Structures are given as structure tokens and as C-alpha cells.
Amino acid sequence: MSQGKTKEQTAMKKRFWMRAWMANAEVNTSPQPLANPEVRLQQPQENRKLVKFWRIAASLLLWQGVILGTPAQAQLKEEKSLTYSELLKKVKNREVAKIEIDEATKIAKVSLNEAKENEPPQRVALFDQNSLLLKELRQQNVPTEIRRSPDNLAALGLIANLFWLLLLLAGFIMIVRRSASNSGQALNFGKSRARFQMEAKTGVLFDDVAGIQEAKEELQEVVTFLKQPERFTAVGARIPKGVLLVGPPGTGKTLLAKAIAGEAGVPFFSISGSEFVEMFVGVGASRVRDLFRKAKENAPCLVFIDEIDAVGRQRGAGIGGGNDEREQTLNQLLTEMDGFEGNTGIIIIAATNRPDVLDAALLRPGRFDRQVIVDYPDYKGRNNILEVHARNKKIDPEVCLETVAKRTPGFTGADLANLLNEAAILTARRRKDAITMLEINDAIDRVVAGMEGTPLVDSKNKRLIAYHEVGHAVISTLLPDHDPVQKVTLIPRGQARGLTWYIPDEEQGLITRAQLKAQITAALGGRAAEEEIFGEAEVTTGAVGDLRQVTSRARQMVTRFGMSDLGPLSLEDPGGEVFLGGNVINRAEYSEKIAAHIDAQVRTIVQHCHGNARQLVRENRVIIDRLVDLLIDQETIEGDQLRKIVEEHTQMDKKQLVVS
């Protein structure tokens, strides 16, 4: 008889059991808006050239004005001026010694008899017809000289005008060329955005992939298909057309694709599912056609589509008609993968963490022949992953990676990489030469529970938190079906003021009714300790997270696992979320009468476990008081020390005494 693991069982193995005393009954977890950082927009190359061009033009215009205006300004500074009337008066009074008239500029330079030796002549602006002035000059016998000045301003003005004409023409040509370039980009809008590598140099090989041995073996066979196809075709085997990598986030799906690219030695295309779809209808389908056209030209080759759920979601779900852009893109992808025309030599590798929302036509054999599950690594896998990530870090010889692997059930490969990185940061912050177990343990606490907060001061509040956490620890230790306690601490982390850590049993794939009730009873241990020690009036909001967890677990026992007086019935609604591939309308599959019975059964289970928790607190008050005093003094009690104290006062189950 084969039994599959349910999602609930996988989730229960994923993390440490943790009980947290919360300071407030309700914690506002809504995301706060973040101020967008100032982003400097980089202009395209053409825009930068155009801006540079006009800056140069403006500078030249400024210099032109300076150059053309300099001679006239210099003359104004070195010569004085007279009015026309003053000139006539001085001629009549015989005060003018000499006069020079420039026909080009209509300026007269007048030298006076009273002028000093080095004093420059004075300037007078003339009219086009100056008959009266010439008559007076002849009558007074004033020496008069008429000549044309050698000023080249007119020539410079002509050259400047020609220069500006050529400059405007060059600017017009640049604008036309830029417009033509944009038109070319518009024509390429439907081209594939896939990154192409003739021989992928990802720097990742199968030796760098650890913890997912089964998935790695499946994909190694795909590489062999590409390198030595005759081994399989000789016996009539057909090369698989597609491989779908399925698993939770952080388990190594993209890393496996990089390893395939590094090992295969064939052309490699990589693209994200979101890069197919644009705001314009038809662009996604065009990009799919272009991608497979390029792949056929370079066959045999690999095509990796990351996050394929962005384009491969179930058709007809949510709101949208048959002309929806995403559906057209999916239809084209289905046709290219296994349509009328073949695509021999092209292997499609896709990755997703939402296989439940993918279209059924996409998952059938002939398109994705294989679905490789990339699941959470077990103890051995975590140990191998830690060894890979520890290669480039300076680890103290006393560090035991096997112990770290035991402490991290439910961690993914990405979690373990982040764990060692956090430990390295703590080591550098503490100015140590190598990473020790202290830094690794602190990093585990930080990754799971958050940053370490300010220690609590001795007060009634600290003692109340201590009783709450010791209540969890003692009750879970006394229950034979509960996981052993790893440690109890009063050091705040994140939003939790105190924490109780457990060591789950990974080897057990199924969970019994007794274990579920033990978990609910231990979760209510903190509230039970508050009620028995301080009284009903002093009960705090610290158990808000525990109560939420207790209610959820009891309801699952009734509606999902069939562990109630209602009988072996599955009453949980199977419908998915809107826009995620499920039904648009979700409704319960049972009557209101059954719903009332469900609520009554949930309440019965919780009340029974709550009564057991309060009884255990009353019967073991001496143990609890002693552990509370020790916890306030040390702020942290390890699991072995806690079990030793409990064993001195009562008989314990063998499972609690022997912790692997």
C-alpha cells in the first residue's frame, strides 16, 4: 500500500516548531510603502549624442557673438564720441584740426586742436548725406580724409551664417537617422528576447549541485541524450521533448538548468516566461515563433524557460476572453512544442513553483514528457549542500556540518547558502578569523526568527514571559508524542519576546492523531501556565499566535484528516484562488448544519487539549518554578539541561530522553 505525503505533512517538516510570546494581540503586518530611491535615467546612445550636438551648437553661437562684438567694443573703450550738432559747432569755431570719414561704417574720427598728444580722436556717427558738414569743412579749410576701413566684420558675419546653415543641416540629418533607428526597433518588437550562448559558460556543473540527487540523475540523462543520442535511438528510444522542474522556491531549479547548460556543450537559449507577454496583442506569440525559429537553426540545442507559470497558466481561468494576449502566447507555445511541424533536436526545460496553475495541455506527454520534482533536501542532502557552500568560506575545524544539517530541517539550498553567508557576516563583524559554531547557531536563529533584540529587564513582564515559554517546554517534554525541545530562550527576536525551539522527526512521514493532539496541547501550554500561575485576570495577549495555530490545526483534523466524530470525511474546499488557475466562484461543499457540527468539533478538540494542558501545569508546578528561575538567570536553557531537570522530578518517555 502506497501513501502519498500530504502538503500538511510536508509543511510540518519544513520548519522548527516555535512558540513565540507576542507583546501585542494584533500585529500589523501590512507592508509599509517604501520611498522609491532616486534613479538616474540613462538616455539611449542616440539621445546622448543629440544633446551633446546641441550643446556644442549653443557654445559656438555664444563664441560667435563674442568674436563679432569684440572689435566694436574695443573701439568704444579707446575713443570718445561727439554728437553731430557738436561737430558742426566745433567746425564753425575752428576747433577741429583734422577729420577722417569712413564710408563703410559712416563714422567720422575728429582730432581737436585742444587735444593732448596721446589722446585718441573722437567719434561721430554720420548720416548717408552730409552736405552741410562737408560745406562747413571746406569753408573752414579743415583737413579732411575719406577712406574705407579694413574691418572684416562683414566677412565674418557671412562665414558665421554659412556655418549655422551647415550646422542646422547636420542636426536635421541626425534627427532623421534617429527616427529611422526607432522605426527599426519597432519592427524588431516581436523578436525573441532569449539570451543565446553557443557554448554556455555558466560556471556551474553537476558537481556543484548537491542535495537533490534524484533530480540531478534525471537531468544528467537528458545531457547524455544530447551528447550520445545513438545509445538511445539504437533501441528505439525517443529523446524527450521537454522537462518540467517542479518544486518550492529556493530548492535549486534554476541552478540545475545552469548545470545542464554547463555540461551539455550545445547551444543554449534562456528566457523568462514574463518576457513573452507585452501590452500589445500578438507580440508574445511572435516572440515564441522567433525563439523556436532560432532554436531550429541551431539544433540540437536547449531552451530554458524560467517561471513558465507566467505564460502557461490554465486557459479560461479568471476574467478574460479568448483573445487574451497570454492565451495567444500559450497557444503558440503549445503548437511549437508539439504541433503539426516537428522540432527534432530541441529540448525544452522549464521551471515553476506553481505546477497547480499550469494548463493541462502543457503538461501532457509530447510536450513535457518528464516532470522532475525538486523537493526540500533531507538530512544527507543538507549536509552535502553545506559542504558545497563551505568551500569558499573559512570554517573553523571544530565546526561540524552534520550538526548544522540536523538543526536545519526544512531548509532549502538557498536557505543554507544564506545561513552560511549570515554566519560569515557575523564572523567579520566580531573580528574573528574563522566561522565557529557560535556564529552558525546565531545565524540559524536570525534566519528563522529574526534579528536579536534588546534583552528584557527583570520585571513582572519578564517573569510572565518566562512562565509562558516554560509552560510550552515542560508540557511538550512530558507528552510522549511531541517533538523534543531543543532550547528555550528569553532573548527577543523579531516580534517574539521569547521562543521555544523543537527538533522535529524527519524520518516519520505520516502524523498520527495523538501527535496532532500533543502539538495542540503544547501550543496551549503558554496560555495554561498564565492562567494557573497568575489567574484569569492576568492572562495576556502573548498567546495570539498560538491560538491561531491551534484553531487551524484542530479545523484541519476535522475537515481534512477526518479525525473527529463526523467520521472519515474530507470537507475542505478543493477550489483554488481566483486568477491562479482555480474556479472563479468558491463555495463550501457542505450544508450549514454540517458547518455548525464542524465548529462544535473544533471547539471540543481545543477545549479537551486546553484542559490537559492546565492539568499538567498544576501537577508539575515545582518543575515549572525551578525552570523559570533558571531561565530568568541564564536567559537560555538548552534542551538537554531542561530534560535533566524534568527527569529529576518525574518519569519521562524514552523518546524524550534520547534525542538524536
Quickly list DSSP for 591-652.
Answer: -HHHHHHHHHHHHHHHHHHHHHHHHHHHHTHHHHHHHHHHHHHHSEEEHHHHHHHHHHHS--
197-201, 462-466, 646-650 — most confident range: 462-466
d(Cα 49, Cα 399) in Å, to the nearest integer?
Answer: 58
Q: Are 632 and 458 in contact (CB under 8 A)?
A: yes
Q: Are 130 and 175 in contact (CB under 8 A)?
A: no
Q: What is the dihedral of CA 159, 161, 163, 167, to 10 degrees?
A: 180
Give the per-residue pLDDT at 32. Answer: 39
Return the minimum-mean-pLDDT range out of 17-31, 81-95, 194-208, 271-285: 17-31
Quick one: CA dihedral 200, 205, 206, 212, positive or negative?
A: negative
pLDDT exceeds cutoff 70 at 5: no
- Residues annotated as catalytic are 469
Return the minimum-mean-pLDDT range out of 97-101, 467-471, 620-624: 97-101
More confident residue, 588 or 389: 389
**Average pLDDT for residues 271-284, to the nearest whole number?**
75
Give the per-residue pLDDT at 318. Answer: 53
DSSP-derived pairing of the beta strands 496-502 and 485-489: antiparallel
Taking alpha carbons only, the member of 619, 653, 624, 659 closest to residue 639 is 659
Cis geometry, peptide bond prior to residue 455 (ω within 30 degrees of 0): no
Quick one: CA dihedral 169, 172, 176, 178, positive or negative?
A: positive
Give the per-residue pLDDT at 622. Answer: 93
Q: Which three cell numbers stand for residue 532?
A: 494557573
d(Cα 11, Cα 376) in Å, to the nearest integer?
Answer: 10
d(Cα 511, Cα 6) in Å, to the nearest integer?
Answer: 10
Q: Are 527 and 543 in contact (CB under 8 A)?
A: yes
Taking alpha carbons only, the member of 17, 21, 15 closest to residue 498 is 21
Q: How many CB atoms lie within 10 A of CB 65?
A: 10
Rg (CA), the chain: 43
CATH of domain 82-148: 3.30.720.210
**Average pLDDT for residues 464-489, to the nearest whole number?**
92
Distances (CA, A) of 119 to 110, 111, 114: 11, 9, 10
Element (H, E) at 125: strand 122-125
d(Cα 229, Cα 309) in Å, to the nearest integer?
Answer: 30
**Average pLDDT for residues 628-654, to the nearest whole number?**
87
CATH of domain 197-315+324-371: 3.40.50.300
Residue 377 backbone zone (phi > 0: left; psi -120 to 50: alpha; other: beta)? beta
According to DSSP H, which parts of 379-524 are helical? 379-389, 401-407, 413-429, 437-449, 460-478, 513-523
Q: Are 408 and 416 in contact (CB under 8 A)?
A: yes
**How confident is the prediction for the chain on average, in pLDDT?**
78
pLDDT exceeds cutoff 70 at 8: no
Give the per-residue pLDDT at 642. Answer: 92
Taking alpha carbons only, the member of 489, 453, 451, 455 closest to residue 472 is 489
Residue in the block written with cell 511572435 = 286
Domains of the chain by residue range: 82-148, 197-315+324-371, 377-447, 458-571+589-654
More confident residue, 29 or 655: 655
According to DSSP H, which parts of 79-152 are helical? 84-92, 131-139
Q: Are 563 and 6 in contact (CB under 8 A)?
A: no
Give the per-residue pLDDT at 201. Answer: 63
Give the per-residue pLDDT at 626. Answer: 94
**Band of residue 229 on the pLDDT scale cut at 50, 70, 90:** confident
Q: Are 469 and 502 in contact (CB under 8 A)?
A: no
**Average pLDDT for residues 172-194, to the nearest whole number?**
58
Q: Are 485 and 473 in contact (CB under 8 A)?
A: yes
**Band of residue 435 on the pLDDT scale cut at 50, 70, 90:** very high
Give the per-residue pLDDT at 151. Answer: 55
**Band of residue 51 on the pLDDT scale cut at 50, 70, 90:** low
Portion of the chain with pLDDT greater than 90, in percent:
24
Taking alpha carbons only, the member of 476, 457, 461, 459 closest to residue 624 is 476
Quick one: CA dihedral 68, 70, 75, 77, positive or negative?
A: positive
**Band of residue 603 on the pLDDT scale cut at 50, 70, 90:** very high
DSSP-derived pairing of the beta strands 346-352 and 301-306: parallel
CATH fit for domain 458-571+589-654, picks 1.20.910.10, 3.40.50.800, 1.20.58.760, 3.40.630.30: 1.20.58.760
**Average pLDDT for residues 39-62, to the nearest whole number?**
59
318, HSE (Cβ side, Cα atoms, 13 Å)? 14
Portion of the chain with pLDDT greater than 70, in percent:
75
What does the buried/exposed string (b/e) look like for 480-517 if buried means 16 or more CB atoms within 10 Å of the residue's CB?
ebbbbbbbbbbbbbbebbbbbbbbbeeeeeebeeebbb
Element (H, E) at 233: helix 230-233
**Average pLDDT for residues 377-388, to the nearest whole number?**
90
d(Cα 365, Cα 332) in Å, to the nearest integer?
Answer: 17
**Band of residue 77 on the pLDDT scale cut at 50, 70, 90:** very low
CATH 1.10.8.60 fits 377-447, yes or no: yes
Q: Which three cell numbers stand for residue 139?
A: 569753408
Residue in the block written with cell 483534523 = 557
Coil, strand or helix: which one is 28? coil
pLDDT exceeds cutoff 50 at 410: yes
Give the per-residue pLDDT at 343. Answer: 59
Distances (CA, A) of 405 to 348, 410, 439: 34, 10, 15
Residue 31 backbone zone (phi > 0: left; psi -120 to 50: alpha; other: beta)? beta
d(Cα 92, Cα 126) in Å, to the nearest integer?
Answer: 17
Q: Which three cell numbers stand for residue 201?
A: 559558460
More confident residue, 160 or 44: 160
Give the per-residue pLDDT at 469. Answer: 94
Coil, strand or helix: which one is 343? coil
Amino acid letter at 146?
I
pTM over 0.85: no
Which residues have a Cβ under 8 Å from the Cβ of 113 and sit 6 or more positions away? 94, 95, 96, 97
Give the per-residue pLDDT at 186. Answer: 47
Give the per-residue pLDDT at 295. Answer: 85
Taking alpha carbons only, the member of 255, 546, 281, 266 closest to residue 414 is 255
d(Cα 86, Cα 82) in Å, to the nearest integer?
Answer: 6
**Average pLDDT for residues 207-234, to the nearest whole number?**
83
Distances (CA, A) of 306 to 54, 245, 312: 44, 9, 11
More confident residue, 230 or 607: 607
**Average pLDDT for residues 379-406, to the nearest whole number?**
91
Amino acid letter at 541?
T
